[in-house]
């Protein structure tokens, strides 16, 4: 798979195993539906040079921000010794955001790679559909701190400005997504 083609979903590394190939092929079938949510195929990517196989979907509303701005899914095929599927909101540190109720975790289940791709696609689609809001704390006419969070369950994805400013209720709330 060539990562140079901007129209390709999950360009980048070639999968290492037949299961990874089937997982990625099935995930690509589902990914076409994400375009309606603003996801651009050329912005997604795949990293197969590490275990697990990792696919990354940048959230269109969070482009250019720092924080938990991408959806990351890791697939460990049976050949890895323990078939698993992991998913989380992530940053520059791949699959290393900690863990909470928004994460995807499938362990102790055997099945074809396509089943794991179906589960991953459903999780990504659900996360892309989550309502988000921008919270702003102001001082006079200036924004001194802001947060972008999932409306439910309130998970903060992006945080800018000093946390001390955010101890009181925000001055402004704007629905982003």
- Kindly report the number of other CB atoms within 10 A of residue 103's CB atom: 15
Look at residue 51 in the predicted model and tell me its pLDDT: 81
Residue 132's nearest CA partner among 116, 150, 146 is 150
Look at residue 1 in the predicted model and tell me its pLDDT: 39
Q: How far apart are CA 147 and CA 142, in angstroms?
A: 15
Q: How far apart are CA 89 and CA 107, in angstroms?
A: 19
98-130 pLDDT tens trace: 788 899 999 988 899 999 999 999 999 999 999
For β-strands 53-58 and 45-47, DSSP reports them as: antiparallel
Look at residue 5 in the predicted model and tell me its pLDDT: 45
Domain positions in the chain are 11-128, 132-175
| Residue ranges in the chain whose pLDDT is less than 70 | 1-7
């Amino acid at each position: 798979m060539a990562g140079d083609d901007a129209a390709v979903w999950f360009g980048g590394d070639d999968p290492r195993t037949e299961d990874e190939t089937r997982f990625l092929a099935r995930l690509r079938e589902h990914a076409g539906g994400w375009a309606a949510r603003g996801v651009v195929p050329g912005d997604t990517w795949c990293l197969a040079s590490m275990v697990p196989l990792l696919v990354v979907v940048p959230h269109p509303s969070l482009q250019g921000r720092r924080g938990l701005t991408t959806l990351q899914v890791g697939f460990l095929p049976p050949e890895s010794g323990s078939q698993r599927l992991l998913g989380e909101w992530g940053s520059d540190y791949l699959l290393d955001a900690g863990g909470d109720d928004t994460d995807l975790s499938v362990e102790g289940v055997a099945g074809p790679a396509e089943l794991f791709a179906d589960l991953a696609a459903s999780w990504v689609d659900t996360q892309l559909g989550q309502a988000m809001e921008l919270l702003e704390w102001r001082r006079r006419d200036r924004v001194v701190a802001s947060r972008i969070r999932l409306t439910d369950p309130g998970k903060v994805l992006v945080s800018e400005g000093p946390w001390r400013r955010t101890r009181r209720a925000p001055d402004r709330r704007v629905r982003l997504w």
